Structure 1
């Protein structure tokens, strides 16, 4: 599906698309905001600076989600680099806050240059669709499992949400995820599991930190940050778009995320990139039955991200008040359709099936070498298998 440069129509909007955008932001924040706090703490950031980080990340993701989704008419979502945040949390202890900003800017410049060069576009176009689908299925598989992993901790809540999901899929399939979210929030509120007493409205004031440069920090932290973000975030993010049928020029997306990160790094944006998991929530059939109208889910996510930027501390506290089992179940049911469609491509009879299956297994395993996460190694396993099988047949 190529992007269509047509005006946005209000008829394209639906409740399911707006809820998909909200769920994407909920999952994105709830699943990894603690890692961002750890990264800020490692850099020596106080509460005001940490709040600024959350605010500018929200604004950066909001603007790019809205801009990309509106322009390309596709659900293009961005996210902060969670592996990058984990890397920073363990690498910034001996780096000053100003030098950390220099690291962010260095990584952003590398991303911008890679996007402008067009190399990433050429490389990504050579990845067969079953391999991309297998990597995506491996990434999302744990979210489907998380429903049942969380079941022992909150059995009534999870079973109630699953019951609502099955009933909605039978009679109101378009509104299945919104109804599951509403049922979960209602049940958690009635049973006292929704802890809102610590939530108060607080607007964030951005804090500017001028960069300083240390070649040791640039090579020791900045270069790994760039590599981890490329391999663990942008490649899976591209796989989501490709597996969902959206054929978009990758280089402009990469260039703009690099540029936005570069301009906002002094305020605390350490890295934004193409999203994978949250994008899958907005690009599946639960977001909208018509793939051409799912871009509205991306725009909705961008609006919710802007709200998180406006009141970052408040929104973080709100998301933290949701029971973990509720978040896990909503994310899992929102991704079931996407997981199923990608697994169908993995198991379909084709010359790529063996390579795709290995890609899926390695990615789902969660293995990591040298700080590089399993999606990259799954892709390597699939490509190597494909090359060897083709060489043998030749």
Structure 2
């Protein structure tokens, strides 16, 4: 009798471990990119730390509340491609307050996608190769950063790259967290933080009064919304469906959009349905029984709440570190995303040339009429796609 009941009593151990793994992978892989992206659009170290703190709190609470309420392993994450895009935007008219305003607009558009079906269908109608090509163009600059760092800082960068390569060879899922851990050891040994800085690094929320500008709307809000929907929300729904869960997108989009609007004034970018970590929490490795996998996102939420406590110290360390090395770590973390985006962009012959035009335009970094390259990449790709379809 004991041999039969013991496994049932401990059924929650497997999804707990899977959820904690998801939070470690999700946080450790790209939290440096979150800080770098926010800093690139004008956030101070304190504001970047506040943004990381707020988004971790939101992820923790949303993962726990949604999974507990629905008993479905719905996972929420931040948009890694979204913060990668922020790292390429450059200065925005109105500074970081205008970027915060753009975050709120992006959140409103996500809610609109949830409550207004025609708008959601219009977003879904953007050809997947074009969306993937735009994302690949955005990621390219960041993925080149490790090479630049090897050239400029070889003694600091080569051990990080080596750790990443070894991780890919022997434990692929942990490759990026291992590289991040090695980078932090190197930074700890080579970066000197003042005692007062460490003492004052407790996580804290810093309110930023939002400003709404046309420049931030066009250059930040619209591309960030498209990236979030195309690279996170829609793939997240697909992951859930592939694992046997039919998820109504309307409530999911509305809840994550409202949460994004609430945390935006504290410097945080959008939250959305998870894609990569969703596969960990909703897949068979979380538990053989699909009805018991909901525990995994709950455990992931607890993990994010724990990580939130270190956001202030992480921001202080990143601010005092060589920025090129931070960009190199972020680039390594995005290599798999770049490979996936390129694969999706070039998968079909009939869409290949429009996708290449989108990729080249988005990667060019050009600004026309004050509008950034990501937007023009989408426009160019869609126009060329329409020309080809009319010809056919």
Equivalents in 1 of 2:159, 2:266: separation in Å? 39
* 1:93-104 mapped onto 2 (5 Å cutoff): none
Cα-to-partner distance string for 1:10-56 (whole Å, 9 max, x where unaligned)? 24246576144223222101332363536x9xxxxxx8x99877754
Report the 3-state secondary structure (helix = DSSP H, G, I; strand = E; otherwise coil) of the residue aligned with 1:37. coil
Higher deviation after alignment, 363-372 or 381-390: 363-372
RMSD: 4.7
- Residue 143 of structure 1 aligns with which residue? 142
Alpha-carbon spacing, 1:368–1:275, altered in 2? closer, same or farther (3 Å): farther
State the alpha-carbon separation in 2 of the partners of residues 50 and 341 from structure 1.
28
Q: Distance in 1 between matches of 2:261 and 2:184?
A: 38
CA shift for structure 1 position 180: 1.9
Which of the pair is proportionally richer in helix?
Answer: 2
Report the 3-state secondary structure (helix = DSSP H, G, I; strand = E; otherwise coil) of the residue aligned with 2:175. Answer: helix
Give the distance between the partners of 2:220 and 2:28, measured in 1 at CA. 24
User: Counterparts of 1:1-394 in structure 2 under 5 Å?
Assistant: 9-13=15-19, 15=21, 18-33=24-39, 35-37=41-43, 56=54, 59-60=57-58, 63-64=61-62, 73-74=74-75, 76-78=77-79, 82=86, 86-87=91-92, 89-90=94-95, 112-113=111-112, 115-189=114-188, 192-197=189-194, 198-203=197-202, 221=212, 225-241=216-232, 242=234, 246=239, 251-263=250-262, 268-269=265-266, 272-274=269-271, 282=276, 306=305, 313-393=312-392
1:96 aligns with none
* C-alpha distance after superposition, 1:121-148 (max 9, x if no partner): 1112212222222122222212211111
Give the Cα–Cα distance (whole angstroms) in 2 for the partners of residues 91 and 13 of structure 1.
34
Q: In 1, distance between residues paired with 2:224 and 2:55?
A: 16
Residues 130 and 111 (structure 1), Cα distance of their counterparts in 2 relative to 1, 3 Å cut: closer
Match of 1:3 in 2: none
Unaligned runs of 5+ in 2: 1-11, 242-246, 287-292
| CA distance in structure 2 between the partners assigned to 1:300 and 1:159 by the alignment | 34
Do the aligned residues in 2 keep the contact of 1:21 with 1:300 (CA within 8 Å)?
Answer: no
How big is each residue's C-alpha offset from its partner over 1:261-294, in whole Å with a ceiling of 9 and x where there is no partner? 55456xx346742579xx78x5699x89x69869
Q: 1:24 to 1:320 in 2, by over 3 A?
A: same
CA distance in 1, matches of 2:23, 2:190: 27
Query: Could you give the per-residue CA deviations for residues 206-232 of structure 1, whole angstroms, max 9, x where no partner exists?
Result: 5789x9xxxxx98xx256555544422
Q: Is the 8 A contact 1:204 1:311 kept in 2?
A: yes
Is the CA contact 2:54–2:205 (under 8 Å) kept in the aligned structure 1? yes
Q: 1:262 to 1:187 in 2, by over 3 A?
A: closer
Shift of 1:317: 0.9
Residues in 2 aligned to 1:373 and 1:301: alpha-carbon distance in whole angstroms: 35
Larger displacement relative to structure 2 (365-374 or 82-91) = 82-91
With over 3 angstroms needed to count, the CA separation of the structure-2 counterparts of 1:300 and 1:77, relative to structure 1, is farther
Q: Is the 8 A contact 2:130 2:354 kept in 1?
A: yes
SS of the equivalent of 2:41 reads helix
The alpha-carbon distance between structure 1 residues 204 and 134, as it changes in their structure 2 partners (threshold 3 A), is closer
Looking at structure 1, the residues matched to 298 and 267 of structure 2 have their Cα atoms a distance apart, in angstroms, of 23
- Structure 1, gaps ≥5 residues long: 1-6, 41-46, 94-99, 212-216
* Deviation, structure 1 residue 155: 0.8
Q: Could you tell me how far 1:309 is from its partner in structure 2? A: 5.8
Please report how far the alpha carbon of residue 120 of structure 1 lies from its aligned counterpart in structure 2 after TM superposition.
3.4
> 1:315/1:63 Cα in 2 relative to 1: closer, same or farther (>3 Å)?
farther
C-alpha separation between the residues in 2 aligned to 1:163 and 1:207?
A: 37
Change in 2 beyond 3 A, CA 1:205/1:283? closer
Displacement of 1:386: 0.8
| Conservation of the 8 A alpha-carbon contact between 1:232 and 1:373 | no
User: Aligned partners of 2:131, 2:327: CA distance in 1, in Å?
Assistant: 24
User: For residues 284 and 177 of structure 1, do their structure 2 counterparts lie closer, same or farther at Cα, with a shift above 3 Å needed?
Assistant: farther
* Number of the residue aligned with 1:97: none
CA contact 2:140–2:338 (8 Å) conserved in 1: yes
